[in-house]
């Protein structure tokens, strides 16, 4: 019957509709990508700009005071280092539009502001402008002399040269213009404006050779692999210059520092251009990158205008998405929250390069014999690692000065606030991580890509092993994405809100969401099954029903003192290590991942898969109780096998014993929930007035050894705790009241802790001391500590029972 067959016309119509949707998706995707092309994607530098292109144009900033000869060596700033500044970072930043960073540098007597703004348009990812300002600090002399170097490097195919009829004259009382082109960027120009500020008249005879009232430019052509080391290059160049000046004027009559530490004015063609300006007192200049395919070149006036509009746009959006809730309503929390969030998102980087991997697949890495860790250590000692790649990664990072690179399980935490702000960006980062996966489904825990990244890591920590895992936290982010999709389809009014609030083609357009998930689904499965296979536990000695399902897991790569792969490095575990031990945190993570996979499979209508995941989930939830609940200790514990081949629990109360709860596997009706909450709230165990301790105060290992995960408070785990408490508090059940109280108190404590340290020191910290609340270990740890932004924006459930006590 004709009516059962769609007519040709209808088919054509449908096809053209599909084509239209696909074209729309592609169009929005292109726009989304273009607005992400440029950024301060070199977060290891105080200020460095690059596009998300492996080999291309980059820019970076160096500065120092030039008041005396000695301090220049130590004070030239370039890469972020701990303990040299009094605070720095983005006060406001949005990846799509830009923002402002302030840098407080007492040793150089100066405060620096870097503003970075994007200008969309054209076919090559648009243009951008940066404004660099210096203001002598209160205690510095108002005619403080500062030397500033802005540089550009160019890698890959293309060219870059200083523009001007007579290049040697360029720079005199004028803007400096670089003309360039490359495959991906097309034609472009970079204008470094003359800007404003006074220049020292040094009075020394050498001033005639190098008048400091003009910009000095030094162009060079170098091997590409040298280009990331601009500071040593600059130093060796300066040394040559100094030698010549001394030779000319004699050691008794050296020019003053402002004069002597200057580059030779030699503008031209090259893949490195150092542009130096020497100032007395405050200064300001712009770097304006204009893509030739954009409608017009950008100017300083436009930059001024855009800075204002980006700032007000940011503030409005921030209020919409992350407004701190009671009791954190005072202005100061707003500023604090903006700064933490901006540093998280302003810390996003683009990395490219090769990395060291041990692909020996040595049988010792199976770790299936007693004493396995010694054999594994011996195998590692053979140093069979080789360089692989290159690969690329777009990611945020835990800390700009100390670990400016990607860490797998950190990233899942980083993206939880980011996805509220910008869904497309988040999905892009997730995709970037999953693209690193090898054929077996492995993703390296720590991504140390390229020579620049490796230069910060001791050799023994550089190697990644393809049997090492790390918690699959990216699945928490995918779950959050599904939550947003569900919220959208169940409530059409929230659809508008959601899509307006977040840059979010994937939410606005269901076809795009499906397309995205379909594309990554095979990778998700590969990763999931890699986990199940490579981290499987040997549960034959556990004489319970659990055995039948095999749902028990063991982290590979442990040593007696560490399970770095678990992320909780030195948390106490079974002693001695045993091939039959089972880790409750790993089973919990796999439970979380299984639930997430089940939801994705359901969303994609992969019903066989969904049924398979459901089966695993059920077994995991059962085994968490069967294998890991200790009646004696009333908590969840690791398990191991003793000398008599008997299995037993290894109980060290702390984050590990909370894991089933933290990963959402202990619901409001669980018969274990009461005990879990009691443990959380017990001041002699995990509770402190500053947040939940990693290890119980009453554990024999509390604050012992390295004391990394043996007591100190970590924000990532506390975030999971406070969210799960909120979850329980918002559902009917026997523990609802208890959870509500714990939630309110914990939330208040966590925010106060991070806020107080920030106020006192100007920084967010890696962890916090449970006795004093003070931030400790890595300074400027803007990774998962920024989760406090989300904690502040969670609801106040008790109508003002707790107050802001500050």
Residues serving a catalytic function are 569, 766
For residue 766, the minimal CB distance to ligand 6A9 (Å) is 7
E strand or H helix at 272, and its extent? Answer: strand 272-291
When asked if residue 719 is in the footprint of ligand 6A9 (CB under 6 A), the reply is no
Pairing of strands 272-291, 186-192: antiparallel
**Site residues for ligand 6A9, window 772-801 (CB under 6 A)?**
783
**Site residues for ligand 6A9, window 77-96 (CB under 6 A)?**
none
The helices-and-strands tally (H runs, E runs) of the chain is: 22, 26
Sort residue 175 into left (φ over 0), alpha (ψ -120 to 50) or beta.
beta
Nearer to ligand 6A9, 447 or 753 (CB): 447
Nearer to ligand 6A9, 403 or 481 (CB): 403
Dist. CA 424–CA 33, nearest whole Å = 9
Token pair for 19 = 């084509």
Nearer to ligand 6A9, 395 or 504 (CB): 395
Token pair for 355 = 């990395």
Distances (CA, A) of 585 to 407, 567, 657, 715: 18, 10, 8, 17
| 795 phi and psi angles, rounded to 5 deg | -75, 150
CB environment 690-729: b (16+ within 10 A), e (fewer): bbbbbbbbebebbeeeebbbbbbbbbbbbbbbbbbbbebb
Nearer to ligand 6A9, 461 or 529 (CB): 461
Nearer to ligand 6A9, 119 or 407 (CB): 407
For residue 559, the minimal CB distance to ligand 6A9 (Å) is 14
Q: Can you tell me which residue has the tokens 């790569």?
A: 557
Token pair for 621 = 């939830």
Site mask, ligand 6A9, residues 516-555, x = CB under 6 A?
----------------------------------------
**Site residues for ligand 6A9, window 351-410 (CB under 6 A)?**
398, 403, 407, 409-410
Nearer to ligand 6A9, 276 or 694 (CB): 694
Q: How far is CA 594 from the centre of its chain?
A: 25
Nearer to ligand 6A9, 126 or 783 (CB): 783
**Site residues for ligand 6A9, window 144-173 (CB under 6 A)?**
none
Q: How many residues bind ligand 6A9 (CB under 6 A)?
A: 12
Contact 628, 615 (CB under 8 A): no
For residue 438, the minimal CB distance to ligand 6A9 (Å) is 20
Nearer to ligand 6A9, 453 or 621 (CB): 453
For residue 91, the minimal CB distance to ligand 6A9 (Å) is 23
Candidates 257, 567, 577, 773; binder of ligand 6A9 (CB under 6 A) is 567
Dist. CA 586–CA 301, nearest whole Å = 55
CB burial of residue 239 (10 Å; 0-12, 13-18, 19+): exposed
Nearer to ligand 6A9, 606 or 638 (CB): 638
Beta bridge partners of 129: 117, 288
For residue 471, the minimal CB distance to ligand 6A9 (Å) is 9
For residue 406, the minimal CB distance to ligand 6A9 (Å) is 10
Beta bridge partners of 356: 387
**Site residues for ligand 6A9, window 449-508 (CB under 6 A)?**
456-458, 461
Q: How far apart are the first and last CA of the chain?
A: 78
Write the secondary structure of 607-635 as one string of H (helix), E (strand) and C (coil).
HHHHHHHHHHHHHHHHHHHHHHEECCCCE
Q: How far is CA 785 from the centre of its chain?
A: 11
CB environment 262-274: b (16+ within 10 A), e (fewer): bbebebbebbbbb
For residue 442, the minimal CB distance to ligand 6A9 (Å) is 17
Contacting residues toward ligand 6A9, per CB under 6 A: 398, 403, 407, 409-410, 456-458, 461, 567, 569, 783
């Amino acid at each position: 019957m004709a009516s059962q067959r769609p007519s040709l016309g209808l088919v054509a119509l449908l096809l053209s509709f599909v084509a239209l949707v696909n074209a729309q998706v592609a169009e929005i995707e292109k726009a989304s990508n273009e607005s992400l092309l440029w950024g301060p994607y070199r977060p290891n530098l105080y200020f460095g700009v690059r596009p998300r292109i492996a080999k291309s144009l980059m820019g970076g900033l160096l500065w120092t005071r030039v008041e005396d000869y000695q301090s220049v060596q130590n004070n030239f700033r370039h890469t972020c280092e701990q303990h040299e500044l009094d605070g720095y970072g983005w006060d406001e930043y949005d990846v799509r539009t830009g923002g402002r960073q302030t840098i407080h540098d007492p040793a150089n007597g100066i405060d620096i502001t870097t503003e970075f703004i994007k200008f969309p348009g054209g076919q090559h990812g648009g243009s951008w402008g940066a404004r660099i300002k210096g203001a002598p600090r209160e205690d510095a002399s108002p005619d403080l002399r500062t030397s500033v170097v802005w540089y550009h490097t160019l890698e890959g195919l293309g060219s870059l040269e200083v523009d001007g009829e007579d290049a040697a004259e360029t720079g005199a009382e004028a803007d400096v213009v670089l003309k360039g082109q490359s495959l991906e960027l097309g034609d472009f120009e970079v204008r470094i404006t003359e800007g404003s500020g006074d220049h020292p008249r040094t009075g020394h005879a050498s001033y005639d050779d190098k008048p400091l009232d003009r910009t000095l430019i030094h162009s060079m052509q170098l091997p590409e692999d040298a280009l990331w080391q601009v500071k040593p290059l600059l130093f060796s160049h300066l040394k040559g210059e100094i030698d010549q000046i001394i030779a000319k004027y004699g050691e008794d009559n050296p020019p003053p520092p402002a004069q002597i530490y200057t580059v030779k004015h030699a503008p031209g063609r090259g893949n490195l251009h150092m542009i130096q300006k020497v100032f007395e007192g405050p200064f300001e200049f712009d770097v304006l990158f204009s893509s030739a395919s954009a409608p017009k070149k950008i100017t300083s006036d436009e930059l001024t205008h855009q800075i204002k509009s980006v700032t007000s746009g940011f503030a409005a959006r921030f209020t919409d998405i992350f407004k701190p809730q009671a009791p954190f309503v005072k202005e100061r929390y707003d500023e604090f929250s903006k700064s933490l969030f901006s540093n998280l998102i302003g810390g996003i980087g683009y990395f490219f390069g090769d990395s060291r991997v041990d692909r020996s697949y040595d049988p010792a890495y199976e770790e299936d014999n007693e004493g396995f860790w010694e054999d594994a250590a011996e195998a590692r000692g053979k140093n069979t690692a080789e360089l692989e790649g290159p690969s690329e990664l777009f990611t945020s990072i835990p800390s700009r000065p100390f670990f400016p690179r990607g860490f797998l399980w950190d990233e899942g935490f980083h993206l939880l606030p980011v996805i509220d702000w910008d869904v497309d960006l988040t999905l892009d980062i997730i995709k970037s991580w999953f693209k690193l996966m090898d054929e077996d489904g492995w993703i390296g825990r720590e991504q140390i890509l390229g020579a620049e990244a490796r230069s910060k890591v001791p050799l023994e920590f550089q190697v990644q092993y393809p049997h090492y895992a790390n918690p699959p936290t990216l699945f928490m982010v995918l779950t959050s994405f599904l939550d947003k999709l569900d919220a959208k389809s169940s409530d059409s009014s929230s659809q508008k809100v959601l899509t307006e609030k977040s840059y979010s083609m994937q939410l606005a357009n269901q076809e795009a969401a499906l397309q995205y998930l379909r594309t990554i689904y095979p990778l998700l499965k590969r990763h999931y099954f890699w986990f199940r296979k490579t981290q499987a536990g040997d549960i034959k000695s556990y004489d319970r029903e659990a055995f039948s399902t095999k749902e028990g897991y063991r982290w590979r790569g442990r040593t007696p003192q560490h399970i770095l792969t678990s992320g909780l490095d030195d948390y106490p575990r079974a002693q001695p290590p045993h091939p039959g031990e089972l880790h409750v945190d790993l089973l919990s993570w796999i439970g979380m991942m299984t639930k997430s996979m089940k939801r994705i499979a359901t969303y994609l209508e992969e019903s066989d898969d969904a049924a398979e995941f459901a089966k695993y989930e059920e077994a995991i939830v059962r085994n968490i109780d069967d294998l890991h609940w200790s009646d004696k200790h009333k908590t969840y514990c690791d398990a191991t096998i003793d000398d008599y081949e008997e299995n037993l629990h290894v109980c060290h109360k702390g984050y590990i014993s909370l894991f089933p709860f933290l990963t959402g596997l202990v619901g409001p009706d669980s018969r274990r929930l009461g005990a879990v909450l009691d443990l959380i709230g017990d001041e002699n165990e995990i509770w402190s007035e500053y947040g939940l301790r990693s290890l119980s105060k009453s554990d024999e290992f509390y604050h012992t050894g390295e004391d990394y995960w043996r007591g100190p408070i970590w924000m990532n785990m506390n975030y999971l705790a406070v969210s799960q408490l909120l979850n329980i508090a918002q559902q009917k059940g026997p523990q609802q009241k208890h959870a509500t109280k714990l939630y309110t108190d914990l939330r208040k404590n966590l925010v106060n802790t991070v806020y107080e340290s920030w106020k006192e020191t100007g920084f967010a910290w890696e962890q916090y001391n449970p006795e004093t609340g003070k931030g400790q270990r890595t300074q400027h740890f803007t990774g998962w500590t920024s989760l406090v932004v989300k904690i502040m924006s969670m609801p106040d459930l008790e109508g003002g029972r707790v107050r802001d006590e500050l």
